[in-house]
Chain A
Amino acid sequence: MASDISHTTSDKTSEIESSGTIISIDQMHKWFDDFHVLKDINLEVRRGERIVICGPSGSGKSTLIRCINRLEQHQQGNIVVDGTELTHDLKNIEIIRSEVGMVFQQFNLFPHLTVLENVCLAPIWVRKMPKIEAEEAAMQYLERVQIPEQAHKFPGQLSGGQQQRVAIARALCMKPKIMLFDEPTSALDPEMIKEVLDVMIELAESGMTMLVVTHEMGFATRVAHRVIFMDGGEIIEQNTPTDFFENPQHDRTKLFLSQILHH
């Protein structure tokens, strides 16, 4: 894995420097009962920016990105997504959710629906798209993730890698402005990781705003503008991939990197 780090695209950052902010998290805290999971999180994400979040298990990475589409509720601070603030207002939550796509570690496809139905469900019921149009769009996205031929199968009949690609197509079919990925390749066999990463790389190249929790450092180096390291519910360090991997500042980051890179 370490060898991948050498091909860094040097001037990725310049393209997005000028674009506006799409997610802004300000002094956000979250507790699970009396357990303080997220502590004073401040994060600005620009339009088109791609961020990789890493950190040891239990550091709050999933919780952080799940706060962005309100799968988890924060207790303090604010989160503004594309101009809409996340509050108790269900209307706002629905707006944000329909603009933020999410891909889970466990795929979470709907097992009782075919692949095609999985993908066109939300456009039909949330975007009120006519069924035929939605199916056409769904087929386009299935082609984009390279499994149009599986459209009429049920998720249970597909391999893990194929299921994860369906999950990506399902999220994309809502034409989201932001995509969240929570360890999308961690539940996959090694030979399937690449097919999913390829789809994600293609998506990154198309200019999608992405927040990806992953330990795939090759992927981070190749597509990320910024790598964020979390530990104990805090953002410890953030930097461009090159600087992050070659010149980590914090001891905890160094320890973490030595653990994941040397095995």
Chain B
Amino acid sequence: MTKQYTPGTHPDLPPPTRTRGPIAWMRLNLFSSPLNALLTILSVWLLWLIVPGIMEWIALDSIWTASDRKDCWAQMNEPRDGACWAFIKSSFQLFLFGWYPEDLRWRPMLCFLLFLIAVVGILKDDLPGKRYWLWYAVAFPFIATWLLIGGFGLTPVPTTKFGGILLTLIVGIASLSFSLPIGILLALGRRSKLPALRTVCVLFIEFIRGVPLITLLFVASTMLMYFLPPGSTFDILMRVLIMVTLFASAYIAEVVRGGLQGLSSGQYEAADSLGLNYWRAHQLIILPQALKISIPGIINTFIGAFKDSTLVIIIGMMDILGLGRARLNDPEWLGLAPELYIFVSLFFFICCFSMARYSLSLEKRLATEHKQ
């Protein structure tokens, strides 16, 4: 029974409920039910309590130039009212390079630049002369080693002088990039038809996964000496790199194995039936698909292993965390732990977050390319 209007006399209808714009968004996401509304209000209240204080401490009331912590606090209304970033600033060079000789620090910096170029060369698909980029990426570890430790015309720098972010990045980058190929080989070995090879791979993977990384590092720092011929010196950094690499590769192997199992046997059979041999089939057919499935797991392992590399402080290596903690004992900067840990966390967060973002973008790109 709708009321009839003569044309032109219909009263205006109320405007339709908005479905776009900030108000509609809030209605949809923040106030969709009484409980939701209550939670929203509660959260806003909590943020209101916490955020201003933190912001003041981190930014507004923070001090950037001071000679020591007393000086820092003297500049504040009340001691510890704000963050004393002067601590980080004054130690920044140390945090970056450790005790790497100051006049030679261009070498790690150049190394880092070359590293970025190598990363771009590997990750970007459509570069002209892609093959030469890949050759460069293969050569990079050797160039980097030469630049960092010297010799062959460069002043030698003992690895004991490495420290801070430099050391963290060396351990992280080297072990992660070597762990991927080794992990892939282990995964293939574990699925091999040759019983001996399979057994070796299974034992290796299960042993490494079953032992804490710290134990492996202790082995690297002490016991390995017993196995080497007497009198030989085997650089401690090298030993640590090997251990972290093996550790990460065992995890990568299992992630990749998961990816391999995700492929249907039809893919292997099609590759076989075309006459592709084992390695070609894996290079062209099996691994591209298996690795694509494994990306989230691989990056997850990378992030975990990168953070675990801080454990090297246990055996006395001064990575960014170790160096920072040592610096905290310095009487000048005693007790500035929050500043230090925020800085270190920020460093790790930036590294890990960029890996995570890259993995997401890679997944997205491959997903559209290989639309099912």
Contacts and interface: CB of A to CB of B under 8 A. Distances in A.
B288 A101 contact: no
Interface stretch (A3-11, A109-117, A142-150): A109-117
B89 interface: no
Contacts of B269: 71, 102, 104, 108
Interface residues of A, number: 27
Contacts of A125: 276, 280, 284
Interface in A115-160: 121-122, 125-126, 154, 156-157
Interface residues of B, number: 23
A81 B285 CA distance: 26
Nearest to A122: B274
Interface in B293-343: none
Contacts of B370: 111-112, 154, 156
Contacts of A100: 273
A112 B371 CA distance: 8
B272 A71 contact: yes
Given A111-B289, A112-B370, A97 B270 contact: no
A154 B371 contact: yes
B274 A174 contact: yes
A200 B218 CA distance: 66
Nearest to B269: A71
Given A108-B270, A111-B289, A122 B369 contact: no
Interface in A10-30: none
B289 A98 contact: no
Contacts of B282: none
Interface in B341-372: 366, 369-372
B198 interface: no
Contacts of A47: none
Nearest to A123: B274
A71 B264 CA distance: 15
B292 A112 contact: yes
B372 A110 contact: no
B275 A108 contact: no
A126 B274 contact: yes
Contact of B266 (A98, A104, A156): A104
Contacts of B369: 112, 154
Interface string A233-258: 00000000000000000000000000
B300 to A, nearest CB: 22
Interface of B: 264, 266-267, 269-277, 280, 284-285, 288-289, 292, 366, 369-372
21 contacts: A69-B272, A69-B273, A71-B273, A94-B275, A97-B272, A100-B273, A102-B269, A102-B270, A104-B266, A106-B264, A108-B266, A108-B267, A108-B269, A110-B271, A112-B289, A112-B292, A112-B369, A122-B275, A125-B280, A125-B284, A154-B369
